[in-house]
Structure 1
Amino acid sequence: MNSLTLFYDSRCPLCAAEMQRLAGWNRRGILQFADMRAEGFDAQRWGVTLAQMDAQLHAATDDGRVLVGIDAIAAAYQAVGLGWLVWPLTWHFARAFWQRNYRWFARNRYRASKWLGYGCVDGVCDTRFR
C-alpha cells in the first residue's frame, strides 16, 4: 500500500483527536486525511453516500478500494507500523463482535466525545483537525 486516505468527521472531537494521533505516527507519509465535513467534499466520488461515510470510518487505498469500519481502522494502524495495537480486529472468529461494537461506538461518537471530556454543545462539536 502506497497511501491510505482516511475520511473523518472533523465535528467529532474524539475522531479529530484520533486523526491527529495517527498523523503524528505517520512518519512514512502513507496516511492522507480528508474531512468529510469540508465544503465541496463529495462522498459519491468513492461510491458511497455521505450518510454511509458518516455512519462508520471509511478509507480509500491508492488502488481505489474502499475500506469500512474495523477494516479501515486496522489498515490505518498497520500503515503507521502499529498494527499490533489493533490485531484483535483482524481475528476472523471475532470479526462480527468487533464490527457490531464498532458500529455502536460510531453511532455514539459525539456522546463518547462528551463522556471523555472533549465537550459538545447540543450534540454538535466543531473541533477541526489540522
Structure 2
Amino acid sequence: MSKIIIWYDGGCPLCLREIAMVRRLDKNDAIDFVDLTSPNISCPLDRTFMLNRFHAQESGVLLSGAAAFAAMWRAVPLLRPLGLAARIPGVLSILETGYRLFLNVRPRLQRYAGGRVQS
C-alpha cells in the first residue's frame, strides 16, 4: 500500500491538534504529513485553496474535504473502520455535509483556540 499524503494548515491550532493525534496513532508510518504553511513545499493546487479545505492523496488520487479525512482514517488501524464506513453509499455525502458546516464555524473556533483565521 502506498503512503497517504496529508496536506494540513500548520497555522491552525485545531488542525495541529488533530494531526498530532493522528501522528501518534499512525504506528505503521503510513502517512506523509505536509504543512502547507512551510514556504519550501510545493502544492498540487493553489496554496490558499488547499489551506481552506483538508486535502489528501490516496493511491495517486487527490481528495478533498470528508473524502480526504476518510482516506486518512483508512490509513490508521484504529480509525480504519470509520474510513471504511465512508465507503458505504450515502455516508460520505453525510460526512461532507458535516464538514461543510464545520468550515462555517472554523474561523470562530480558531479565534477561540487562539489561532489565525482563514478568510
Query: Is the structural similarity TM-score above 0.5?
Result: yes
**1:17 and 1:2, CA in 2 relative to 1: closer, same or farther beyond 3 A?**
same
Does structure 2 conserve the Cα–Cα contact (< 8 Å) formed by 1:12 and 1:110? no
Q: Deviations over 1:62-82 (max 9, x none)?
A: x43211111111111111111
Residue 53 to residue 119, structure 1, CA distance change in 2 (3 Å): same
Please state how far the C-alpha of 1:17 moved relative to its aligned partner. 0.6
**Which residue number corresponds to residue 6 of structure 2?**
6
Tell me if structure 2 keeps the 8 A contact 1:55–1:103. no
Aligned residue for 1:92, secondary structure, equals: coil
1:42 aligned onto 2:37: no
Stretches of structure 2 that go unaligned for 5 or more consecutive residues are: none
| Shift in Å, 1:114 | 4.1
Match of 1:60, SS state, is: strand
Does 2:107 align with 1:119? Answer: no
Contact 2:67 2:92 in 1 (8 A): no
Alignment of 1:44-59 (within 5 A): 46=44, 48-59=45-56
Offset from partner CA, 1:5-59 (integer Å, 9 cap, x none): 110001110101100000001110101110001113332xx2x212321221101
2:73 is the counterpart of 1:77? yes
Measure the CA separation in 1 of the matches of 2:104 and 2:47: 14
Describe the SS at the equivalent of 1:32: strand
Q: After the TM superposition, which of the residue ranges 49-58 and 13-22 deviates more from structure 2?
A: 49-58
* 1:8–1:58 CA contact under 8 A, matched in 2: yes
Name the residue aligned to 1:18. 18
| Alignment partners' CA distance in 2, 1:114 and 1:90 | 33
User: Aligned pairs, how many?
Assistant: 116
Give the direction of change, closer, same or farther, for the CA distance of 1:108–1:24 in structure 2 (3 Å limit). same
Identical positions, percent: 25
Unaligned runs of 5+ in 1: 126-130
Q: Supply the RMSD in Å over aligned alpha carbons.
A: 2.1
Aligned-partner Cα distance in 2 for 1:18–1:68 = 16
